[in-house]
């Protein structure tokens, strides 16, 4: 089927007005062909972007990935899809290995069973337990560990290699060795760290290529002690996540991040918890700790900022409203996160042969229709 009169976000990460095709097997066919078939469906100038790819979300709808509950994970996946997220990698927390093993097993089951009406699980983001105590943020300090490649490798193998991102604080003992080994299996991200500039540079040289929730749970930029962020900016392989709820980072800091890293290296994330979609005042469990939604963001009892209560679609809308160029914001929600997960050959852009996951929306992104493998959901 062909669709015409569409403002299409094409694989060159720019908008073009034209036509695209979805084949009978749920793939993109021709994109921006010269000839417009007479029976093409008229989208009447609507904006068409790839389905969003979420690489950092713990949960929603009262469910958390780390619960290890299969029905809860399916509920999460349905919610993602309703928000325009067609591919996702749920994030775990700092928890004992046996708890992580159960959660990762539910992810593998979701991939194997591929239930109808759910966003596609494309990997796991293992956030913890290899973190700094000082910059643990909302991670449970009782379960922090030094980098442990053997333990990580067992988790990786037991879930069939589904871990696509693993986080580590580079100042911890053995971090560089862990990074060298783990980066051969998946993306390694610098996170929850009190690292100085030198340790961060060493981590990136060892193979780390990702920065988890930029600005949060890491030192700020200091002109005499630059820390992690300038080290990441200087390494062209490194992509940076950014929570665009307007609460974890000020809009000016969001614009600064895109200016520093460039649109080709930014990844917008929600970092949502089970509180996503829940009203202010909701209390919930977060990795064995009690958190509460206050002013649209989750906080621990001591006031520490935790996960967000938003979703990736809203973060995209926010980023554009904050002054991030539209094409850069869409890129940061689609092909860039797909690359971080290593699934860019299958999803993340509107290109011939890729799965036809896309969103048809109004120019202001207020109204949308979501398509998964070419079918309206």
Report the catalytic residues. 271
Helix segments in the chain, DSSP class H: 70-82, 97-113, 149-158, 175-182, 197-206, 228-234, 251-261, 312-321, 326-333, 335-341
One DSSP character per residue, 63-100 reads EEGGG--HHHHHHHHHHHHHTTEEEEEEB--S--HHHH
Nearest alpha carbon to residue 269 among 145, 88, 92: 88
Please give the Cα distance from 4 to 245 (Å, whole number).
Answer: 33
One DSSP character per residue, 197-262 reads HHHHHHHHHHT--EESSTTTTSPPP-SSS--HHHHHHH-TT-EEEEE-SSSSS-HHHHHHHHHHH-
Which residues fall within 8 angstroms of residue 260, CB to CB, at 6 or more apart? 229, 233
Helix axes 97-113, 70-82, angle to 10 degrees: 60
Locate 11 and state its tokens: 């694989």
CA distances from 267 to 183, 189, 202, 253, 330 (A): 19, 13, 23, 14, 10
CA distances from 211 to 41, 56, 64, 94, 195 (A): 41, 11, 22, 17, 12
Which residues are bridge partners to 15 per DSSP? 9
Please give the Cα distance from 45 to 7 (Å, whole number).
Answer: 6
Which residues fall within 8 angstroms of residue 59, CB to CB, at 6 or more apart? 65, 66, 67, 72, 76, 90, 272, 273, 274, 276
Locate 37 and state its tokens: 């078939």
């Amino acid at each position: 089927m062909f669709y015409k009169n569409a403002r299409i976000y094409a694989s060159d990460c720019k908008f073009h007005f034209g036509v695209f095709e979805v084949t009978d097997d749920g793939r993109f066919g021709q994109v921006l062909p010269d000839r417009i078939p007479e029976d093409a469906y008229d989208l009447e100038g609507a904006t068409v972007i790839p389905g969003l790819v979420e690489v950092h979300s713990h949960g929603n709808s009262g469910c958390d990935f780390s619960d290890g509950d299969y029905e809860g994970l399916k509920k999460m996946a349905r919610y993602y899809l309703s928000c325009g997220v067609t591919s996702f990698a749920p994030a775990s927390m700092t928890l004992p290995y046996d708890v992580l093993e159960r959660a990762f097993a539910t992810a593998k089951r979701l991939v194997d069973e591929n239930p109808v009406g759910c966003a596609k699980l494309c990997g796991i983001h293992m956030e913890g337990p290899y973190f700094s105590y000082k910059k643990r943020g909302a991670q449970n300090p009782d379960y922090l560990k030094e980098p442990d490649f053997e333990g990580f490798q067992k988790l990786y193998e037991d879930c069939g290699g589904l871990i696509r991102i693993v986080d580590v604080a580079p100042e911890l003992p053995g971090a560089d060795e862990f990074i060298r080994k783990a980066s051969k299996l998946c993306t390694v991200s610098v996170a929850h760290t009190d690292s100085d500039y030198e340790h961060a540079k060493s981590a990136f040289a060892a193979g780390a290529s990702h920065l988890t929730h930029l600005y949060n749970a890491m030192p700020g930029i200091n002109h005499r002690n630059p820390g992690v962020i300038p080290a990441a900016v200087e390494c062209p392989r490194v992509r940076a996540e950014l929570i665009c709820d307007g609460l974890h980072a000020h809009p000016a800091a969001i614009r600064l991040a895109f200016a520093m890293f460039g649109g080709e290296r930014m990844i917008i994330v929600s970092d949502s918890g089970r509180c996503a979609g829940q009203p202010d005042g909701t209390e919930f469990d977060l990795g064995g700790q009690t958190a509460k939604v206050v002013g649209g963001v989750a906080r621990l009892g001591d006031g520490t900022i935790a996960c967000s209560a938003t979703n990736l679609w809203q973060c995209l809308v926010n980023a554009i409203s904050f002054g991030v160029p539209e094409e850069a914001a869409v890129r940061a929600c689609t092909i860039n996160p797909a690359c971080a997960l290593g699934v860019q050959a299958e999803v993340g852009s509107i290109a011939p042969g890729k799965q036809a996951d896309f969103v048809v929306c109004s120019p202001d992104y207020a109204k949308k229709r979501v398509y998964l493998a070419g079918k309206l959901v």
